[in-house]
């Protein structure tokens, strides 16, 4: 049986599934039940500085996007950091850590961007004997307007400054949680790395408005007729998070920096994908807010079974395996040629592939044969764009079949080459010569 134990910057947990800092990790009551269900670790809901706690709105704080089956695809929130007193959270963290020594507990922190504020809170957290700290540089609403959260995470110099204070005033491993609300996530990641962070975690939530009430003319969630942007998360953000994780994993300056991946993780497969892109573990929020703590059981068994099937004995056996295969567009092989193929037995003749290809792609799918509905790819026209596969409601009904080297591409009339050739050397590229040199 595969060994799924996780060691992330020296923080050990029985599996790589942690709960992200959010409502599921807001109090001992939740965290203890999460641990009972099997979660390997938690990042406690973000702590603020001592004093009067933050105040949340008293109306709806969530908005959502759903699929046609009403399955939640994206969640938006305008919640702030914990609204419970600091001392209560610290006491509970200490108690839970004592009760669950084999699980990871990381304290998420967000205090003003001032040395004294960080210097004051770090020893209080250290005293609880939790395993590490996560710096919340990601909250995009409410706190960022007060100069914290994303307001720090968007300025690499501030990120570096706070990381340095944390390394200076604490012995605990530092995980820097990054905001996706930037043009290039490598810049804050590099700054954190240079300042000595032990790891980065990403992504926090994305600026978003999930809807507008067309009767009241108010963005939703609406508080007394007004709305504001919130933070977007859930399955819809996973592709964005994966790209950002991959960017950091393959960047020359941050390669090898431990990454805790967050964003839309719902199943073991999502976790495996993030880990193949270089993540050391994953954190989960929306999936648990949607389906409850027990989903971790399937994550644990699913990951273990898949690793057994693949012959991976430990997480390190597949961690980062996809990173060398993430490249830039100009290095893709232009001599790789494929054609779509429709399995006539699986086809339910809905016609979606024909409409999509006919109206927006390359007019490469028939709709009729001898007066009967019939959908078949016209190889002479197909550019292998994949759109028909993306819109087909039957899984694996249409597949993309690569043409063997030496065969003829009926669209171009050219023989398929077995040589790798990319844009940097292509004759149509005016820069080709320089790039090749």
Is-contact 130 97, C-beta < 8 A?
A: yes
Alpha-carbon span 164 to 152, nearest angstrom? 14
Chain CA centroid to CA 274, Å: 7
First to last CA, the chain: 50
Number of residues that bind ligand FMN (CB under 6 A): 28
Interface residues for ligand FMN in 261-280 (CB under 6 A)? 262-265
Q: Which of ligand FMN, ligand SF4, none interacts with 46 (beta carbon under 5 to 8 A by kind)?
A: ligand FMN
Alpha-carbon span 213 to 368, nearest angstrom? 44
2 interacts with ligand SF4 by CB under 6 A? no
81 interacts with ligand SF4 by CB under 6 A? no
Residue of 201, 262, 254 lying closest to 232 (CA atoms): 262
Is-contact 277 323, C-beta < 8 A?
A: yes
Stretch that binds ligand FMN, among 208-216, 218-226, 231-239, 394-402 (CB under 6 A): 231-239
279 interacts with ligand SF4 by CB under 6 A? no
User: What are the tokens at 235?
Assistant: 């399955």
398 interacts with ligand SF4 by CB under 6 A? yes
Alpha-carbon span 53 to 298, nearest angstrom? 37
CB of 281 to ligand SF4, least distance (A): 37
Instruction: Look up tokens 């699913």; give the residue.
Output: 302
Strands (E), 110-248: 132-136, 174-177, 199-202, 206-208, 211-213, 218-220, 230-233
Interface residues for ligand FMN in 285-304 (CB under 6 A)? 285-287
**What number of residues does the chain have?**
437
User: What are the tokens at 436?
Assistant: 């090749």
Residue 166 annotated as catalytic: no
User: What are the tokens at 175?
Assistant: 């995980």
CB of 217 to ligand FMN, least distance (A): 25
177 interacts with ligand FMN by CB under 6 A? yes
Instruction: Look up tokens 């490598």; give the residue.
Output: 186
23 interacts with ligand FMN by CB under 6 A? yes
User: Among 139, 233, 357, 392, which one carries the catalytic annotation?
Assistant: 139
Nearer to ligand SF4, 346 or 435 (CB): 346
21 interacts with ligand FMN by CB under 6 A? yes
Binding test (CB under 6 A) with ligand FMN, winner from 11, 28, 31, 75: 75
CB of 304 to ligand FMN, least distance (A): 21
347 interacts with ligand SF4 by CB under 6 A? yes
387 interacts with ligand SF4 by CB under 6 A? yes
Is-contact 424 434, C-beta < 8 A?
A: no
User: What are the tokens at 366?
Assistant: 């028939």
CB of 47 to ligand FMN, least distance (A): 9
188 interacts with ligand FMN by CB under 6 A? no
Q: What are phi and psi of 291, to 5 degrees?
A: -115, -10
Q: Which residues are catalytic?
A: 139
**Residues in the site for ligand SF4, rule: CB under 6 A?**
340, 342, 347-353, 356-357, 361-362, 364-365, 375, 377, 382-388, 392, 394, 397-398
């Amino acid at each position: 049986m595969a060994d799924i134990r996780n060691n992330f910057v020296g923080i050990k947990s029985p599996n790589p599934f942690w709960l992200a800092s959010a409502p599921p990790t807001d109090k001992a009551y939740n965290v203890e039940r999460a641990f009972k269900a099997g979660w390997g670790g938690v990042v406690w809901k973000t702590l603020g500085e001592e004093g009067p706690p933050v105040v949340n709105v008293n109306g709806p704080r969530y908005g959502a996007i759903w699929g046609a089956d009403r399955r939640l695809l994206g969640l938006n929130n305008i919640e702030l950091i914990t609204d419970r007193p600091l001392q209560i959270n610290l006491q509970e963290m200490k108690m839970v850590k004592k009760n669950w020594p084999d699980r990871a507990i990381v304290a998420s922190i967000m205090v003003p961007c001032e040395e004294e504020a960080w210097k004051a809170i770090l020893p209080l957290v250290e005293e609880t004997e939790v395993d590490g700290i996560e710096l919340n540089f990601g909250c995009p609403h409410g706190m960022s307007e007060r100069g914290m959260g994303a307001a720090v995470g968007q300025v690499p110099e501030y990120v570096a400054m706070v990381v340095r204070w944390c390394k200076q005033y604490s012995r605990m491993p530092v995980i820097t949680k990054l905001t996706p609300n930037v043009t290039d996530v490598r810049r804050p990641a590099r700054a954190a790395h240079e300042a000595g962070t032990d790891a980065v975690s990403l992504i926090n939530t994305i600026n978003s408005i999930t809807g507008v009430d067309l009767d009241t003319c108010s963005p939703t969630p609406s508080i007394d007729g007004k709305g504001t942007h919130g933070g977007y998360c859930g399955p819809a953000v996973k592709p964005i998070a994966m790209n950002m994780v991959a960017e950091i994993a393959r960047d020359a300056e941050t390669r090898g920096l431990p990454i805790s991946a967050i964003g839309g993780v719902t199943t073991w497969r999502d976790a495996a994908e993030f880990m193949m892109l270089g993540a050391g573990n994953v954190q989960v929020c929306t999936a648990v807010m949607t389906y409850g703590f027990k989903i971790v059981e399937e994550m644990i068994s699913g990951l273990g079974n898949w690793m057994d099937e693949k012959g991976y004995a430990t997480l390190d056996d597949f961690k980062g395996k996809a990173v060398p295969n993430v490249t830039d567009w100009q290095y893709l092989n232009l001599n790789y040629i494929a054609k779509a193929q429709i399995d006539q037995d699986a086809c339910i003749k809905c016609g979606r592939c024909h409409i999509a290809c006919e109206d927006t792609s390359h007019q490469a799918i028939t709709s009729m044969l001898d007066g009967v509905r019939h959908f078949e790819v016209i190889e002479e026209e197909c550019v292998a764009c994949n759109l028909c596969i993306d819109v087909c409601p039957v899984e694996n009904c249409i597949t993309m079949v690569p043409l063997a080297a030496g065969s003829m591409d009926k669209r171009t009339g050219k023989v398929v080459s077995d040589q790798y050739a990319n844009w940097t050397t292509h004759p149509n590229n005016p820069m080709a010569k320089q790039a090749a040199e």
